[in-house]
């Protein structure tokens, strides 16, 4: 049952995360330890061209986390979900809970988005059938069951641009479920664009994709 008191400060540090290509450059970070209470007074830094800042606190019972809450502001933050799906987002994220139950809430504005992977329609249909039989991945400890409630929206500079289609997207989605098993609700509007099938080009007048 350790009790820690004091201050930890960090300036001009770099944090590398295994799942993210871009390192996080920490301009300043200040942590205050008061026995069973940890206070994140401030953290500020950059990731690529994006900036982030945060604050929060957490209680500990021995080495086990008690109630906690952390607030994070993102500005023009680059994201890369896959090699061919990139974007820039800004907004606010709140991570809170305790050892047994956590939630991640917030609003993210998609300022830019691009999906440019080339598509083979025949292979796509074959792989789709195989994916229906894939098992869920192994549970992620602690944060895997974190409940999600994040609003994703944006309607400018969001495109699918590949060998099959060039379409603009207007996104208004709500991410629910958990980090381990996320669910999407809402819709994506397609105000304009073109599709290519074999040697034919089709002009999109309008379209809607519903997530239910």
35 vs 30: which has the higher pLDDT: 30
- For residues 89 and 47, what is the distance between their CA atoms, to the nearest angstrom? 12
Instruction: Give the pLDDT confidence score for residue 171 in this predicted structure.
Output: 95
Task: Please give the pLDDT value at position 100.
Answer: 86
pLDDT digits (tens, 9 = 90+) for 60-81: 877 778 899 999 999 999 988 7
Task: Say whether 99 sits in a helix, a strand or coil.
Answer: coil
Q: Which residue has the higher pLDDT, 44 or 2?
A: 44
Burial class (CB in 10 A: 0-12, 13-18, 19+), 154: buried
Q: Tell me the three state secondary structure of residue 139.
A: coil
Q: What is the pLDDT of residues 123-175, one digit of tens each?
A: 777 777 666 555 555 566 667 789 999 999 999 899 999 988 999 999 999 99
Average confidence (pLDDT) over 18-38: 87
Q: What is the pLDDT of residue 87?
A: 93
Any idea which of 31-40, 131-140, 150-159, 193-202 has the lowest mean pLDDT? Answer: 131-140
Query: What are the angstrom distances between the C-alpha of 118 and each of 115, 124, 165, 166?
Result: 9, 11, 10, 12
Give the C-alpha separation, 58 to 65, whole Å: 7
% pLDDT > 90, the chain:
58
User: What integer is the mean pLDDT of 100-118?
Assistant: 94
17-26, 29-38, 112-121: range with lowest mean pLDDT: 17-26
How far is Cα 28 from Cα 42, in angstroms, rounded to an integer?
A: 7
């Amino acid at each position: 049952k350790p009790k820690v008191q004091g201050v930890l400060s960090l300036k001009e540090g770099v944090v590398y995360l295994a799942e993210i290509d871009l390192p996080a450059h920490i301009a300043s970070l200040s942590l205050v330890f008061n026995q069973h209470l940890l206070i994140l007074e401030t953290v500020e830094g950059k990731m690529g061209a994006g900036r982030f800042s945060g604050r929060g606190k957490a209680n500990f019972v021995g080495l086990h986390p008690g109630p906690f809450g952390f607030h994070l502001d993102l500005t023009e933050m680059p994201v890369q979900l896959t090699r061919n799906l990139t974007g820039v987002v800004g907004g606010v994220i709140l991570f809170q809970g305790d050892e047994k139950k956590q939630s991640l809430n917030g609003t993210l504005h998609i300022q830019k988005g691009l999906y440019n992977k080339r598509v083979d329609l025949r292979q796509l249909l074959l792989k789709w059938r195989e994916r229906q039989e894939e098992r869920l991945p192994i549970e992620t400890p602690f944060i895997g069951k974190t409940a999600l409630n994040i609003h994703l929206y944006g309607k400018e500079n969001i495109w699918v641009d590949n060998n099959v289609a060039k379409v603009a997207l207007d996104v208004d989605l709500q991410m629910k479920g958990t980090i381990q098993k996320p669910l999407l609700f809402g819709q994506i509007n397609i105000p304009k664009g073109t599709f290519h099938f074999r040697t034919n080009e089709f002009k999109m007048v309008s379209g809607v994709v519903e997530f239910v």
